[in-house]
């Protein structure tokens, strides 16, 4: 594959395959047989919110989901006209700007709804909303058993346009857990009641990535996927099927090589000391870039795995090059992604850090340049 343009100018950077995101969205839609809301919150899970949204739309996404109204406004400012849902809280002061930009908001309890109602009534504006229910997450939303009365009240307010209702699975990435079936059952009971009263909105969406793949009964009218559109596994127990590809690679440069004598400390607090003469390289990336401050991580140099020595610094880290005699200053170093015949996956990095791939992806710092390619392929 031809290297993306511009990387020679960077000491550390991310490469984002937008073609992979486009194809992942398309594949997910084929599996679900339903429209896809592409979740691009948190700067597109670290991949870049605008570019990710464009790639998702190219893959057939019907909606984009974000956590905060500011994220939706970034998409609108970039010229995207795709429907957008703010899935979290929106301050009342932001309601009218959202309405002006055709951004849909979430209401999850009467207090929030009344705040939005007062704002809308004073300006004679109509607010498009999706109603959030807590079917088992223990987070935002009324319980489904309280839902019909709330939806009925919302429908009676001319200031609200109820576009949809939604919930969120707590354990869909544990396919054997019974919680998901229970959540689906609770939502179905609510929908039955809304149907009887003629209150069911056109869009019901509950499934996240794992729910879409492993719980077909929870797909309803639309699926709402985040981690899968980036080609990342929802969990070890809920891996992606064939046809998905990771979009992100994290790379840096080898900027110095030196021979250290035996008993020489490496890095702050000498958490690594050479036991014999050792060839050590300095890599131009550190914890300020989102790479965890720990020792013992793996990187790829010349297609071979090397180990991080000592503690990762703010802007740099050191690796052993004892078994890579052909390494040279200026060489590309891969921290996440493939080089030669080897690959360090984001899931592997997450396991090493003691966390999940979601956190690894979203921890990628804004100062890392994002180099995009693949959307025209």
What is the distance between the alpha carbons of residues 133 and 109, in angstroms, rounded to a whole number?
9
Among 201, 200, 220, 199, residue whose Cα is nearest residue 211 = 220
**Cα dihedral sign, 226-231-232-237:** positive
Measure the CA angle with vertex 268, ends 266 and 269; round to 5°. Answer: 95
pLDDT of residue 315: 98
pLDDT tens sequence across 230-242:
999 999 999 999 9
pLDDT tens sequence across 236-292:
999 999 999 999 999 999 999 999 999 999 999 999 999 999 999 999 999 999 999
What is the distance between the alpha carbons of residues 335 and 298, in angstroms, rounded to a whole number?
7
Per annotation, catalytic residue among 41, 108, 116, 372: 41
Helix (H) or strand (E) holding 347: helix 346-353
pLDDT of residue 1: 54
Regions in the chain scoring below 50 on pLDDT? none
pLDDT of residue 295: 83
pLDDT of residue 2: 63
Note if 268 is an active site residue. yes
**Structure token digits, residue 136:** 């088992």
Say if strands 248-260 and 278-283 run parallel, antiparallel, or are unpaired.
Answer: antiparallel
Per annotation, catalytic residue among 3, 102, 196, 268: 268
Query: pTM of whole model > 0.85?
Result: yes
CATH architecture, domain defined by 18-230: Alpha-Beta Barrel (3.20)
Note if 125 is an active site residue. no
pLDDT tens sequence across 73-104:
999 999 999 999 999 999 999 999 999 999 99
What's the half-sphere exposure (Cβ side, CA atoms, 13 Å) at 68? 8
Q: Round to the nearest angstrom and report the end-to-end CA distance of the chain.
A: 11
**Strand stretches in 312-373, DSSP E:** 317-320, 332-339, 342-344, 370-373
Close Cβ partners of 268 (under 8 Å, ≥ 6 residues apart) = 310, 311, 313
pLDDT of residue 147: 94
What is the distance between the alpha carbons of residues 186 and 339, in angstroms, rounded to a whole number?
47
Q: What are phi and psi of 129, to 5 degrees?
A: -135, 155
CATH architecture, domain defined by 248-344: Beta Barrel (2.40)
**Structure token digits, residue 261:** 């004598």
Say if strands 203-205 and 298-301 run parallel, antiparallel, or are unpaired.
Answer: unpaired
Domain extents for the chain? 18-230, 248-344
Q: What are phi and psi of 18, to 5 degrees?
A: -70, -25
Q: Please, are residues 222 and 238 in contact by the beta-carbon 8 Å criterion? A: no
What is the distance between the alpha carbons of residues 240 and 209, in angstroms, rounded to a whole number?
9
Helix (H, G, I), strand (E, B) or coil at 213: helix
**Structure token digits, residue 95:** 């309601």
DSSP-assigned letters across all residues of 277-291? -EEEEEES--GGGT-
Q: Please, are residues 273 and 309 in contact by the beta-carbon 8 Å criterion? A: no
**Cα dihedral sign, 91-97-100-103:** negative
């Amino acid at each position: 594959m031809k290297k993306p343009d511009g990387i020679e100018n960077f000491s550390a950077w991310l490469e984002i395959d937008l073609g992979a995101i486009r194809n992942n969205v398309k594949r997910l839609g084929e599996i679900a047989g339903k429209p896809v809301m592409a979740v691009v919150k948190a700067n597109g899970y670290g991949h870049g919110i605008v570019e990710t949204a464009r790639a998702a739309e190219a893959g057939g996404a019907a909606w984009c989901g974000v956590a905060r109204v500011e994220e939706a406004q970034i998409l609108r400012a970039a010229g995207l006209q795709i429907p957008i849902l703010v899935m979290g809280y929106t301050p009342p002061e932001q309601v009218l700007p959202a309405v002006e930009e055709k951004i849909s908001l979430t209401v999850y309890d009467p207090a929030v709804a009344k705040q939005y109602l007062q704002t809308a009534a004073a300006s004679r504006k109509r607010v498009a909303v999706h109603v959030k229910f807590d079917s088992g997450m223990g987070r935002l939303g009324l319980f489904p058993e309280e839902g019909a009365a709330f939806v009925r009240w919302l429908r009676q307010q001319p200031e609200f346009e109820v576009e949809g209702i939604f919930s969120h699975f707590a354990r869909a990435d544990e396919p054997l857990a019974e919680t998901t079936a229970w959540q689906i059952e609770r939502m179905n009971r609510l929908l039955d009641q809304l149907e009887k009263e003629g209150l069911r909105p056109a869009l019901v969406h509950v499934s996240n990535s794992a729910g879409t793949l492993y719980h077909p009964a929870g797909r309803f009218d639309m699926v709402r996927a985040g981690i899968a559109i980036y080609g990342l596994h929802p969990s070890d127990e809920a891996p992606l099927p064939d046809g998905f590809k990771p979009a992100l690679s994290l790379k840096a440069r080898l900027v110095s090589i030196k021979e250290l004598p035996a008993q020489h400390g490496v890095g702050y607090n000498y958490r690594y000391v050479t036991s014999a003469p050792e060839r050590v390289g300095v890599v131009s990336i550190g914890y300020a870039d989102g790479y965890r401050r720990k020792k013992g991580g793996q990187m790829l140099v010349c297609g071979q795995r090397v180990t991080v020595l000592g503690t990762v610094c703010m802007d740099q880290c050191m690796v052993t090059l004892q078994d890579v005699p052909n390494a040279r200053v200026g060489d590309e170093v891969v921290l996440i992604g493939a080089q030669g015949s080897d690959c360090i996956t984001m899931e592997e990095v997450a396991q090493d850090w003691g966390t999940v791939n979601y956190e690894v992806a979203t921890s990628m710092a804004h100062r890392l340049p994002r180099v995009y390619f693949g959307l025209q392929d």
